[in-house]
Every structure is written in C-alpha cells, then in structure tokens.
Structure 1
C-alpha cells in the first residue's frame, strides 16, 4: 500500500493498494472516492445495494456521506488506485446520480484518471496534475449530467496567445492553472483546449519544453545541472534530469560532458 497527500487542491489523498483478503467495514467518507481497478475483482455495497466488478475498464465513483463497504471476491484479490476528491471538485448535490450508477463504463474517463495518477507520482509537476484533474472533473460532470463541453470558438486563438505570453513570462516561476484561469477569465478545460488547438500541445508540455531549451543553453555554457535546474524552474536536479532525459535521450550531465569533450 502507498498513500500520500498531493500538492494539488481538490485531492485530499492518493491511495495505491493491493488486497488479497481485506474487507472494508461499512463506512462513509467526507470526500468522493474515485477508483480504478488494475487487476482482480472487487465487490462492494453502496447504500445497501451490492455491486461487483472485475472490469478494469470501469471507473468506480462513490459519493460522500453514503455508506459503503468493499471486499475481495477471489483468492487473487484486487489492485486499485483511488483518488479522494473534495466537494469543491464535485458538488455533494450530485450524490444521487452516483448512487444510482457508481460503475462508469467510460474508456475516456478511465484513461484520464490513469493519466492523473501518473502526474501525481511527482509533486514537481503541479500544472500537469491540475490540468489533468480539470479534465477528470469535466468528464465526471458530463457523466453525471451536470455539464456540457464547450468547444473552442473564434476567440480561442487570442486566449491561447495570451496564455502563451503568460507562460513565456513565467518560465522559471511557473504558473498554476487557477492563476492562469483567474488572470485570463477562462474556464480551465476551455483554456487548455484553446491552447492545445492553437499550438499542438497542452500548456504544461509547452512550459516544460521552454525550460528544457533554457537548460540546454546553460549546460552548454558550463553550468552545473543542479544550478541549471533552479535557474530554469525545475523543482530540483532529479526533476530536470527526468524531463531532460525524456526529451533528449541523455541526462543533463552527459549532455554537458559532450560539449566539454568537443572543446578539448
């Protein structure tokens, strides 16, 4: 079992666990319980009605304040990943539809929840995690018949341009999704869609690319990777190394060494 509290507003806890013989007693949460099953089978009761699933493509959504339990149904147990979401993410008034249908067969939602978990593995990628949470929230609201997606229109190019200007001005310090939407008076997912439509990649990916470009120049100028990480806005040297290696196929220190070897 692995549990932690991420640096992302709206998520009180992330839980990754495998159970082979555990049974949760009947209980409630103050939060929404958003679960994906990675393998095995689970059986649970929600508001006195039993449900069961062994389908890893489904998403389980349990509302706050409603009694539920959970248990394994075979010797192999089950492996799950759970997000506990506050009522700022999903209002408590939507509990009724969730009680009526807690098992969501939605491949897009499942993929978005998986991507959010991957982003939450590292506390240094807050903008990405916030962006992915916004899209998870949007999909849940659509499934609960509480929201309709608005596609970017003619105004989207200017909105994307303004966000790009913000990102370019804050390469080192970064910006949160809440800050960006507040400054630009835009809905989070609409803002991200507008940027992605205009530039072909989401804002967090664009910002990382700008930081990598700056890091390359500083490394070639002889700066140490630890100093470069701080100078361009990465959380620490490990954060720089992870993204740098993914972009260029080599870690920062080796990249800098090739320049020194050539100079000799």
Structure 2
C-alpha cells in the first residue's frame, strides 16, 4: 500500500467511538484488508476499483461504499488521484443504535448488529444523510445533534421504519418538551431525555419530530432563535443575547441566526421597524 500523505484521521470528540478520515487528491492503493468497525464513506472526486464480497465495482463521485466488520476489501484509484471521506464506527455501538431503529420497525431485536445489505449504495437519501452526519461530526456540534444524524443514516441505510401513526403524545413526551423549553441553555443529553420519556433514543427522536416538527436538537435551536428575535427587538446587546441563550460564543449565535433568518442579528435589529415608527 502506498503511503497516503494527503489522508487525515480524526477521532470524534463528540462520539469517541467514531473515527473520521478524509483523503484529498490521494493516489494511495489499499490491498485486501478488513476492519473491526463498520466503515462507510462517499467518493468526492476521481474513480477507483473497489472490491468487496467477491465482487468488483467501479466507483466514482457520489458513490457510497459500505463495509461491514471483517469484510475483506480493497480499493485502488483507476487513474490519477481520488478524494473521499470515510467514517469508522464501533460495531457494538452501531449494533445498539440499529436495534433501537429495528425494534420500531419490526417489533423486536435481531442480532448483535445488522450488516449492510449492499457493498455499494447509490441511494440519494443515504448519500444526503451521510453528508449531514459527516459534516456535523467534523464540525463537532452537540452530541444530541450528531446522534440524531447517525440514527437518520441507520434508518436510511439498514431499513425503513414502518408507517404506523402515533396517535397522541404521551405525558412523558410532553415532559421532555417542557424540559427543553424550561432551560434552553442546558446541554441536554439524548440518553437522559429518552429515560425521562421512557422510550429508546430512536423512539424519542421519531415521536418528538412527529409532534413538534423537528428533532430535539433542532427544536431547541429554533426556540433559541425565536427568543433571540424578541430580545433583539427589545434592544438587548448581541453579546448578552448569545450568553443568555447559551451559545458557545457570539460568532456561534450569529451563524445560527443567519441560517434561520438569512440575515445577521445586527442587521435584523437595525432594520426592525417598530409599529410606532410606521
């Protein structure tokens, strides 16, 4: 195997059992080998020959390679260089999250973990969810958001949930909703919220999104931005708003606000027209 000077490895600080790898314009060749973890990733540019499960695949931009623990595989660029990103996820942790998703789909657990059904996936949904997961891991956003992204990926890659309709929110789910609203500055843990709802983590994410339109982390951020708008209109200082609402710093607040409102907090505040001024 050629040395790949353009490859970078990083252990997630949010989920320590996940490792990220990025290769940019690499010409490295990978002879037959295997991993103890699940490994999966997406090709950003170039083409390569990928062999897994005794089958050769010609892969290129947008293709997703999926490798189960102990799968013997190899991957070599066909011409020139290629770029890609990969995730390596502990098989035990992946299995636990899979079981939560599959329990909702078929009413029971199956085995320690489920293998990928295919070695090469070209589903736009799987690709979209992989990119969202990788981006959040690389950006080191909160654990609640990253776990949500990983559940979303598992749902798309390993099997769709059933279409049963949840008829009414339980009192416990309402309490989780109230917990989020009561303290928007707190770093909420998915495990604690799930325990409060007496649901699995995946069940909580699905039920919460069903009733409130967003998963907990996104709902919490949406609530922060709504409160920020009120505070901006009342003349509060931007730095004070960022601190009061629990943003890591003023820059973080500004980025999140612009994502939602499409203008900066300063612009919003300076261009807000009070009713008495009209």
Aligned partner of 2:91 in structure 1 is 87
Aligned partner of 1:27 in structure 2 is 33
Unaligned runs of 5+ in 1: none
- With normalisation by structure 1, the TM-score equals 0.80
Aligned partner of 1:177 in structure 2 is 190
Aligned partner of 1:124 in structure 2 is 141
Confirm whether residue 243 of structure 1 aligns to residue 260 of structure 2.
no
Aligned pair count reads 256
Task: Give 1:10-25 correspondences, 5 Å limit.
Answer: 11-25=17-31
Aligned partner of 1:52 in structure 2 is 57
Task: Give 1:1-264 correspondences, 5 Å limit.
Answer: 1-9=7-15, 11-46=17-52, 49-54=54-59, 56=61, 58-75=63-80, 77-91=81-95, 94=113, 97-98=115-116, 101-142=118-159, 149=162, 151-156=164-169, 158=171, 160-258=173-271
> 1:21/1:122 Cα in 2 relative to 1: closer, same or farther (>3 Å)?
closer
Contact 2:43 2:85 in 1 (8 A): yes
> 1:42/1:11 Cα in 2 relative to 1: closer, same or farther (>3 Å)?
farther
CA–CA separation in structure 1 for the residues paired with 2:112 and 2:216: 32
CA–CA separation in structure 2 for the residues paired with 1:35 and 1:101: 13
- With normalisation by structure 2, the TM-score equals 0.76
After TM superposition, the structure 1 stretch with the greater mean CA deviation from structure 2, 239-248 or 38-47, is 38-47
Contact 1:135 1:189 in 2 (8 A): no
SS in 1 for 2:188: coil
Shift in Å at residue 232 of structure 1?
A: 0.5
Shift in Å at residue 240 of structure 1?
A: 0.7
Superposition CA RMSD, Å: 3.3
> 1:88/1:210 Cα in 2 relative to 1: closer, same or farther (>3 Å)?
same
Unaligned runs of 5+ in 2: 1-6, 96-110
Shift in Å at residue 239 of structure 1?
A: 1.4
Contact 1:152 1:194 in 2 (8 A): no
SS in 2 for 1:90: helix
